[in-house]
């Protein structure tokens, strides 16, 4: 059977239109929601629920010295900070000891190193959760700092709902020169547009351990980390994926509610981190994996079909209209989103990242699967 050139170009045009519709569905149905999100003021006054900040640290002496004081100095009436010093071999013990003398609301739990026993970060988190005395637990990392002294007030505001058990925030990365840093910040912002947008649409699927909160009673009522306890990563996103609903999830999108982390400085370090995150993603609910697969698949298909149509030089007015429509839609939403997430100078270079990101993620994912599980540690 011979298919005519006219039939071929009509099939390709139909597929191009289908990919455009899928892309528009994501950008207009999910990602734009972050642009128009309401950012309530932080809770004020002194009648605020007491809370506990839990931080797990392994060989983080320098970061604890730099960033932990910003957590300890939060403008909040009643809170404690619980640091789990997990098998550290640097001078974390001394750093934490000095800070405990200055800040009486700092508590430290220790895990001693055992050469015959390796464990995931979830064990350290569980120890921190059990050591915490308050029901509302806030989580961040040792290499993070809140961008504002009002951070915990924003957490309390987001958690104020009667049914709210989980609070999802944004964990940004510090801006530095270089293409790698720009890509890390772009990818972090884009992923945040996904998980915030989907949560606003009533289908929350993940959060980031650099900036999130949940209730202690809720954690234990849901069986803790449950079936994912043995997985090296996923202490944050897998717990949210398993337990979050359209009703029990609060969001923080005010700029003062963000945390700021140190981005990987080498490609090798970033790939290692990316592989750890992708290892957790395979355990998401099937519906969430499908949604996360469909967007990059439609994006790659869109560019492939667009190139084919331009080479054939057929229906070019329609093709040009679709191409410009997606470009404008994407640029407008990204420019506004960059303002919301306080990520400067990203929207323009993201035109390049938009093309290569799915291929890069797929390559890292496939190489990670081929090498197998191996021996891993959380830090």
Residue 336 CA to residue 315 CA, distance in Å, equals 32
Q: What is the pTM of this model?
A: 0.91
pLDDT of residue 277: 80
**Dihedral over alpha carbons 292, 294, 300, 302 (to 10 degrees):** -140
- What is the layout of strands, in order, in the sheet containing 106-111? 106-111, 79-86, 51-57, 136-141, 212-215, 166-168, 249-251
Q: How far apart are the first and last CA of the chain?
A: 58
Per-residue pLDDT of the chain (379 residues; tens, 9 = 90+): 444 457 888 888 999 999 999 999 999 999 999 998 887 778 776 689 999 999 999 999 999 999 999 999 999 999 999 999 998 899 999 999 999 999 999 999 999 877 767 788 889 999 999 999 999 999 999 999 999 999 999 999 999 988 999 999 999 999 999 999 999 999 999 999 999 999 999 999 999 999 999 999 999 999 998 888 777 778 889 999 999 999 999 999 999 999 999 999 999 999 888 888 888 888 899 999 999 999 999 999 999 999 988 888 778 789 899 999 999 999 999 999 999 999 877 877 888 898 889 888 888 877 776 555 444 566 6
Given this model, what pLDDT does residue 23 score?
97
The packing angle between helices 316-340 and 286-312, to 10°, is 140
Enclosing H/E stretch for 135: none
pLDDT of res. 233: 77
How confident is the model at residue 238, as a pLDDT?
Answer: 92
Q: What is the pLDDT of residue 192?
A: 96
Tokens of 96: 């934490």
Q: Where in the chain is the domain with CATH 3.90.550.10?
A: 51-267
pLDDT at residue number 376? 52
Res 299: pLDDT: 95
| CA-wise closest residue to 378 among 84, 62, 86 | 86
pLDDT at 191 (0 to 100): 96
pLDDT of residue 61: 94
Distance of CA 302 to CAs 61, 62, 291, 365, 366, Å? Answer: 47, 46, 16, 21, 22
Neighbours of 263 (CB within 10 A): 22
Give Cα 306 distance to the centre of its chain.
31
**Interatomic CA distance for residues 235 and 241, integer angstroms:** 11
- Identify the pLDDT of residue 370: 59
Report the 10 Å Cβ neighbour count for 347.
Answer: 20
Q: How far is CA 188 from the centre of its chain?
A: 6
Q: What is the pLDDT of residue 369?
A: 65
Indicate the helix (H) or strand (E) that contains 179.
helix 179-200
| Number of C-beta neighbours around residue 297 at 10 A | 15
Nearest to 205 by CA among 298, 296, 299, 292: 292
Domain 51-267 architecture: Alpha-Beta Complex (3.90)
């Amino acid at each position: 059977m011979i298919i005519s050139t006219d039939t071929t170009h009509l099939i390709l045009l139909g597929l191009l239109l289908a990919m455009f519709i899928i892309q528009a569905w994501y950008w207009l149905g999910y990602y734009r929601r972050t642009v128009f999100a309401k950012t309530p003021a932080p809770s004020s006054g002194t009648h605020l629920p007491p809370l506990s900040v839990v931080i797990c640290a392994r060989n983080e002496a320098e970061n604890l010295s730099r960033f932990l004081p910003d957590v300890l100095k939060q403008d909040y009436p009643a809170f404690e900070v619980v640091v789990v010093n997990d098998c550290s071999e640097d001078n974390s013990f001394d750093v934490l000891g000095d800070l405990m003398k200055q800040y009486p609301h700092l508590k430290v739990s220790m895990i001693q190193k055992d050469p015959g026993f390796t464990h995931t970060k979830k064990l350290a988190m569980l120890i921190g959760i059990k050591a915490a005395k308050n029901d509302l637990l806030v989580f961040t990392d040792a290499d993070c700092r809140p961008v504002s002294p009002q951070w915990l007030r924003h957490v309390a505001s987001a958690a104020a709902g009667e049914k709210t058990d989980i609070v999802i925030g944004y964990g940004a990365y510090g801006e530095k020169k270089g293409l790698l840093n720009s890509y890390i910040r772009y990818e972090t912002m884009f992923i945040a547009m996904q998980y915030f947008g989907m949560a606003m649409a009533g289908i929350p699927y993940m959060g980031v351990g650099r900036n999130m909160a949940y209730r202690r009673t809720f954690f234990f009522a849901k069986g803790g980390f449950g079936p994912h306890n043995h997985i090296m990563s996923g202490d944050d996103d897998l717990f949210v994926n398993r337990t979050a609903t359209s009703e029990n999830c609060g969001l923080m999108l005010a700029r003062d509610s963000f945390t700021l982390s140190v981005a990987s400085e080498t490609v090798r370090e970033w790939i290692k981190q990316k592989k750890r995150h992708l290892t957790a993603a395979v355990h998401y609910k099937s519906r969430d994996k499908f949604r996360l697969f469909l967007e990059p698949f439609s994006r790659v298909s869109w560019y492939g079909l667009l190139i084919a149509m331009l080479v054939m030089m057929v229906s070019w007015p329609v093709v040009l209209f679709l191409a410009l429509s997606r470009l404008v839609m994407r640029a407008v939403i990204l420019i506004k989103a960059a303002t919301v997430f306080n990520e400067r100078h990203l929207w323009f270079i993201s035109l390049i990242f938009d093309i290569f990101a799915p291929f890069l993620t797929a390559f890292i994912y496939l190489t990670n699967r081929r090498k197998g599980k191996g021996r891993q540690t959380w830090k």
